[in-house]
Amino acid sequence: MYKGKRIIKLSKEFIKLSQCPQEMYKELCLLSAKYPNPPDLIDVGIEESTRDHTSQSIEQTIDGRQTTFWSSKGSGMDVDEYLEYKLVARSLITSIEVKPFLAQFQRGLPCYAPRGISFSIGNAQNEIYYHSPKYPIINTNESQVFRIDPQIGKYLRINLIGKVQTQPIDDLYYTCLEKVEILGIPICKSIFYQYQELRNVFEIWANTKNLSVNDDDYNFSNEELEMEERLYEACLELLKEEEFDKVLSNMLTTKKTNAIVRSKKFIGLYESAAENNAAACEEFFNYTISKINSREQLTLAEALYVGKLSIRFNEYRVLIAGIQRPVIECTLELGMLFEESNPQVAYVIYRVGGVSNKEFEMLLKLKRYDEAAVFIYERFENTLMHIEVERVVRIAGIQVASKVAKTLLTFEHFPDHIVESIMQVFHHDNIHTLSQRLHELSTTPAEQE
């Protein structure tokens, strides 16, 4: 029924659109809006302005791993960089997601975002016809989504404007990105197969832009997409009727049909609909248990919702079981849910996920100061320890820093210049007595005599 209505609407309206490319473009944008979880359109990374090392190429931004990244060469702060990608097909591009890289293996845990960012889109590498405005970008290891006016193209260049972070070992400025996604709707057979009028109108519009539409661009399965569309529409109707058990039954179907209803947008709809329904929340817990028992990976959206439910009901067994299997990915976003309500759970998430800077912060929050001292001792060279003590001052205050430093100086007999560098942290705060006590702790019994 839905399909029939859509064909009638298209057949009546698209004849008019063939003479009005602007209106046709609007219709394409409306068509894209019905997809709740736009796919990543990137086929391959094809060009980078510079590269610092062979293992830090543009391909590392699309490999799906948290530990890999692209890095520019070191330079001055005003040097721009760029990354260029080829898409799976000519596509309607609606947003770009970028995640700067955080170097957990460098002192001070620097993050390497550019100072600003913009985007260029075209039909080929040498046919760029759209340039976005410049956007600010936050220097943090979190995904940031930049929404643009929908544009059609097959190549996208990310312009990385300026640099803000120096690398400690050489004092040169770098830009490093952990992840890039280009989101939108591929203009492909999956959309046009049933709607010949739409394909004809698109070709007319494409001609006005001097673009060509080749059969190679139509390479997605319409049958698979249509099945997911119908499932999504059916689940939305069930949510309106609060038939949560049937919705979750659909979510437990094969991977071929459940991708859309396990998406961030759909989980958000479920969460809103179940806000005042404890039974629906319980059903989601049971659904999660079934995923854990079958060792099937939860999506990030599912994991975050499980986290919210764990806090709401003060019940953490399902979450911990998912982490132990492991089918729940321990991300920064998940850990941040628990920093205030349950820092112990946050600590576990950060430790398992390798988010070392946050793991350290949770040790301080949990008042596990001896472990915090061990953390510094085992992970940082002696010459860098004073920097970490300064970080404790910033995070937890001077008194906590004194406890961590006191424990740190009992692990071994450090050279005088190391002790002095740590003591200097407290000299800046005019705490002479504390500095004197730290000096006493670092002095051997023979020296004291």
Of the ranges 96-110, 176-190, 208-222, the best mean pLDDT one: 96-110
pLDDT at 384 over 90: no
Asked if 59 contacts 68 with a C-beta cutoff of 8 angstroms, the reply is no
Residue 84, CA distances (Å) to 77, 157, 180 in order? 21, 4, 11
Residues near 231 by Cβ (< 8 Å), separated by ≥ 6? Answer: 250, 253, 257, 258, 260, 261
Q: Mean pLDDT throughout 81-106?
A: 88
pLDDT at 169 over 70: yes
CB neighbours (10 Å) of residue 137? 18
Tokens of 328: 């729940």
Quick one: how far is CA 230 from the chain centroid? 29
Q: Specify whether the backbone of 368 is left (phi greater than 0), alpha (psi in -120 to 50) or beta.
A: beta
Q: How confident is the model at residue 180 (pLDDT cuts 50, 70, 90)?
A: very high
Q: Mean pLDDT throughout 92-111?
A: 87
pLDDT at 344 over 90: yes
pLDDT at 256 over 60: no
Share of the chain above pLDDT 70, in %: 70
Q: Mean pLDDT throughout 105-115?
A: 88
Q: How confident is the model at residue 30 (pLDDT cuts 50, 70, 90)?
A: low
Q: What is residue 39's DSSP assignment?
A: P
Name the residue among 238, 237, 285, 228 with its Cα closest to residue 260. 228
Q: Mean pLDDT throughout 132-161?
A: 89
Pairing of strands 144-163, 135-136: unpaired
The string of pLDDT tens digits covering residues 50-91 is: 999 888 999 999 988 888 999 999 999 999 999 999 988 777
Question: Residue 363, exposed/middle/buried by CB under 10 A (0-12, 13-18, 19+)?
Answer: buried
DSSP state string for 166-181? E-TTT--EE-EEEEEE
pLDDT at 238 over 80: no
- Tell me the three state secondary structure of residue 105: coil
pLDDT score for 16: 47
Q: How confident is the model at residue 345 (pLDDT cuts 50, 70, 90)?
A: very high
pTM across the whole model: 0.49
Q: Mean pLDDT throughout 256-277?
A: 72
pLDDT at 158 over 90: yes
DSSP state string for 139-200? SSSS-EEEEEEEEEEEEEEEEEEEE-EE-TTT--EE-EEEEEEEEEEE-SHHHHSS-HHHHH
In angstroms, the CA 322 to CA 338 distance is 16
Q: How many residues does the chain have?
A: 449
pLDDT score for 302: 86
Q: Mean pLDDT throughout 97-108?
A: 88
Q: How confident is the model at residue 193 (pLDDT cuts 50, 70, 90)?
A: very low
pLDDT at 432 over 70: no
In angstroms, the CA 50 to CA 75 distance is 10
Residue 255, CA distances (Å) to 228, 325, 406 in order? 10, 20, 54
Q: Mean pLDDT throughout 29-37?
A: 52
Q: Mean pLDDT throughout 211-224?
A: 46
Q: First-to-last CA distance in the chain?
A: 94
pLDDT score for 52: 92
* Assigned architecture for domain 42-186: Sandwich (2.60)
pLDDT score for 18: 41
Q: Specify whether the backbone of 354 is left (phi greater than 0), alpha (psi in -120 to 50) or beta.
A: left
Q: How confident is the model at residue 47 (pLDDT cuts 50, 70, 90)?
A: very high
Angle 369-416-106 (CA atoms, 0-180°, nearest 5)? 55
pLDDT at 314 over 80: yes
CB neighbours (10 Å) of residue 392? 26
CB neighbours (10 Å) of residue 104? 16
SS3 per-residue string spanning 357-413:
HHHHHHHHHCCCHHHHHHHHHHHCCHHHHHHHHHHHHHHHCHHHHHHHHHHHCCCCC
Which amino acid makes up residue 71?
S
In angstroms, the CA 304 to CA 316 distance is 13
Asked if 117 contacts 161 with a C-beta cutoff of 8 angstroms, the reply is yes
In angstroms, the CA 431 to CA 246 distance is 65
Dihedral sign for Cα 310, 315, 320, 322, please. Answer: negative
Of the ranges 145-154, 182-191, 259-268, 438-447, the best mean pLDDT one: 145-154
Largest CA distance in the chain: 99
Query: Please, what is the average pLDDT of the chain?
Result: 76
pLDDT score for 79: 93
pLDDT score for 192: 44
pLDDT at 363 over 90: yes
Name the residue among 410, 372, 409, 378 with its Cα closest to residue 393. 372
Asked if 91 contacts 185 with a C-beta cutoff of 8 angstroms, the reply is yes
pLDDT score for 51: 94
pLDDT at 8 over 50: no
pLDDT score for 37: 56
pLDDT score for 23: 54
